[in-house]
A and B are shown apart, each in its own frame.
Chain A
């Protein structure tokens, strides 16, 4: 990965009661690109991004964001630096309207500026196609729409780095296509780190891929390089990619 990095980890490790979920992960994330993090179930992907965002405390190792050591910052401080995070299991404010959900996401930066705040919320809702549902209560939305809402809450923060944990899980084909168009439109300004199981999505949108297996980095590189990597084929991809 030759591009300028926005985030790096050194020796990042998480041990749960003697069991290493991640072990000595050295990772470099290219700025402005879409990077996919893949690996079999239990490879430690969610734990890894949890340690990046600060949700999960690392046992040891360091995280650098834009050259700054953020290893000891609490999650909310990391988010304030320009990181946004969507959960693997949809996490919105269920009792609030769609508009208020997005408003809260945009509100940290814009709460003092009501006009900009409302404009931002409206813009984000339009971008993901939820404008018509702005007044609906979030828990009344379909699962797919809740997923989209959570992505909208990420966008509303204008993040520098957007971490998405399995964003397309449970989405319909048409919604997946919309999602891919959306994040491809974001790349360039925003760096995207994606945990994804859908290989079609990965191969189509990712500039770089990192493969985790057993809590360690198995391979990193462009989709072509990863696809050609024998260790990856053995561990994870099998014949799935070419099929």
Chain B
């Protein structure tokens, strides 16, 4: 089979497996899995920028939160119909990414990390400042009518799971396609050697900005989906940990692989879930595993697989 064929079998297989799992797993685990799929969308969005373009942002929580608040506030305060609010949320995140990216991309390396971090802090403080509307740290619950589509209640276990599955599937396949397109290959070229890409006649600044906006929009979509499916919007999703999580997930799962983000989120979730069953110091165990993985599988789980047994892994 060609690498192309194998890749589609893998992606189709993962989606089929996730679909089937709902009917097999107990409610608790299918609930966990729907959360994992939503956060995997976020990780995939982050991966476009970090794994494929080679740009490390430490401020992606602002896009996740922009999507989340863009959705939750317009549903609750403006009474937008759910699909409109959802699309609006993605646009808000994309617009924020255009502005933040336009400025942050004037820097590179460590400065880029700091500038993105600062932007995200500013966004977090904005959320707190407008506490009258956002209800700050306490957050708010998304109105029930904002969680329905075509008569389907997305707050039920099945509604939530399959909505997460559909949106995850769309992003998962779209990303697999994206990196095979000339656009995706050029992002990879920038990651590998930006100066060379520029000296092949590619406007690397433009490509980086496009990557940044795509990444921000996908992250924003993940935030909107989170608000939609779990019905809660709060400032903690705009804070620093939510900028660091996608980095951990992607590093664990394998940066620059399509399957890595899902693996990373899944692994981290169940690592914490299982270890917290044994001890209160579960973060200690999580930390230890992270250190070991970084030492022995620096390419992440999927990255190591690609290196050793599956060179075709996209």
Contacts and interface: CB of A to CB of B under 8 A. Distances in A.
A198 interface: no
B182 interface: yes
A157 B199 contact: no
Contact of B192 (A75, A96, A153, A157): A96
Contacts of A74: 203
* Chain A, interface residues (CB within 8 Å), range: 20 to 34
Given A91-B195, A107-B182, A111-B182, A96 B201 contact: no
Nearest to A86: B199
Interface string B73-96: 000000000000000000000000
Contact of A96 (B188, B202, B204): B188
Contacts of A91: 193, 195-196, 199
A95 B196 CA distance: 13
Interface stretch (A10-18, A34-42, A98-106, A120-128): A98-106
Nearest to A85: B199
A76 B185 CA distance: 17
Contacts, number: 57
Interface in B182-230: 182, 185-186, 188-189, 192-193, 195-204
Contact of A76 (B182, B188, B189, B203): B203
A186 interface: no
A95 B193 CA distance: 9
A79 B197 CA distance: 11
A93 interface: yes
Interface string A87-118: 10001111110001001110110011000000
Contact of B199 (A87, A94, A100, A107): A87
Contacts of A76: 198-199, 201-204
A80 B201 CA distance: 5
A75 B196 CA distance: 11
A105 B189 CA distance: 10
A95 B197 CA distance: 14
Contacts of A79: 199-201
A107 B185 contact: yes
A108 B193 contact: no
A55 interface: yes
Given A92-B193, A93-B193, A96-B192, A103 B185 contact: yes
B190 to A, nearest CB: 10
A79 B185 CA distance: 19
A15 B62 CA distance: 43
5 closest cross-chain pairs (CB), A and B: A79-B201, A111-B182, A93-B192, A80-B201, A91-B196
22 contacts: A55-B195, A74-B203, A75-B198, A76-B199, A76-B201, A76-B202, A79-B201, A80-B201, A85-B199, A87-B195, A87-B199, A91-B195, A91-B196, A91-B199, A92-B193, A94-B192, A96-B192, A100-B185, A104-B185, A104-B200, A108-B201, A157-B201
